[in-house]
Amino acid sequence: MGMILQAGLLAAGFVLLVKGAGWFVSGASGLAERCSIPPLVVGLTIVAMGTSLPEAAVSLSAALKGNAGITVGNILGSNILNILIILGLSAVLTPLRVEKSVVRRELPLLAAVTALLLVQGLDGTAGRLDGMILLALFAAYLFSLLRTAAREQHEEHPEGTDASSGSGAPQRPVWRILALTAAGMAAVVVGSNLAVDAAVEIARFFGMSERFIGLTIVALGTSLPELFTSVSAARKGEADIAVGNIVGSNFFNVLFIVGASAIITPVPFAQAFLFDCAVSLAAAAALLAFSARTGQLKRWQGAAMLAGYAAYFLAIV
């Protein structure tokens, strides 16, 4: 009876995620249009942070409860899933255009940030100084994004003209866009929590190890908002949001979540996690290599990323 209840909760979580992701992408793209914010910047900030709320909730709660060890497994597992599974699946469904700015700036920075986390973990702990460094880098990254958005908006409308002028399509009221975005975010967070809790209970029922659960079940569960949001964005032709969501989420996961958790309490970095961190770094490097030449993730490259995750999964079973 218990497993039937958990299966029902898992299904309910998936329904909320599917509906919420659609609302969230629609609201975020509408917000970008009304405020003249480039969709890529919206994906790297608003959408990325919104879909990373489950990771933040799980990791910060674990740190506050003195179980900070789960933080690293959750973050690394989520970052690997985000690139290899979510972008891989999105690219298989429809080839994804990757902006030149992402190839030149965000992807090399993501690889560098992941390498920094690997270095910080070599001594077995991400301490408070490490956390302050990560949070300082997060603040600098956000500041850089906002400056870029302001510069692009000024270049497009140098005389302060209305961004929406000249558009023949009627625009939705701001209150409706904000309500849609908020409802979508609430749905993906609630759905993610339901799905994670149910999946963990099912996994434990079948006797899976705690490390395996953290790197796969919990990581997948907390990455479900990114999964449904990016796939939904890709299907709607919002490639900037689909790619920006994943890249921004990975930045947020490492710089903010690990940084904040390490300041709350030093985060244990078990030796086994060095392998997972190296895989996360390899995934970021593969994404950069695939998109650098043509500015696009093709279907065969998405399939290769999915195969890469399958190999990683077999290595940690």
Q: Of 188, 227, 139, which is closest to residue 17 (Cα–Cα)?
A: 188
The reported pLDDT for the residue numbered 26 is 80
Q: What is the per-residue pLDDT for 285? A: 95
Report the b/e string of 86-117 with b at 16+ CB within 10 A.
bbbbbbbebbbbbbeebbeebbebbbebbbbb
Alpha helices in the chain (DSSP H): 2-35, 39-42, 48-51, 53-64, 69-80, 88-93, 100-101, 107-120, 128-156, 174-205, 210-212, 219-235, 239-251, 259-264, 272-294, 299-316
Half-sphere exposure of 131 (CA within 13 A, CB side): 21
Which segments of the chain have a pLDDT < 50?
A: 162-168
> What pLDDT is recorded for position 311?
96
Half-sphere exposure for 81 (CA within 13 Å, toward CB):
26
Residue 165 covered by a domain: no
In terms of residue numbers, what domain contains 23?
2-157+173-316
H helices within 167-268, ranges in order?
Answer: 174-205, 210-212, 219-235, 239-251, 259-264
Classify residue 164: in a domain, yes or no: no
User: Residue 166 domain-assigned?
Assistant: no
Asked, for residue 296, whether it belongs to a domain, the answer is yes
Count of domains forming the chain: 1
Q: Determine, yes or no, domain membership for 224.
A: yes
Q: CATH number of the domain that 68 lies in?
A: 1.20.1420.30
Provide the 3-class DSSP secondary structure of residue 236. Answer: coil
Tell me whether residue 261 is in a domain.
yes
Q: How many angstroms separate the CA atoms of 302 and 287, rounded?
A: 10
Cα–Cα distance for residue pair 248/257, rounded to 1 Å? 13
Tell me the pTM.
0.77
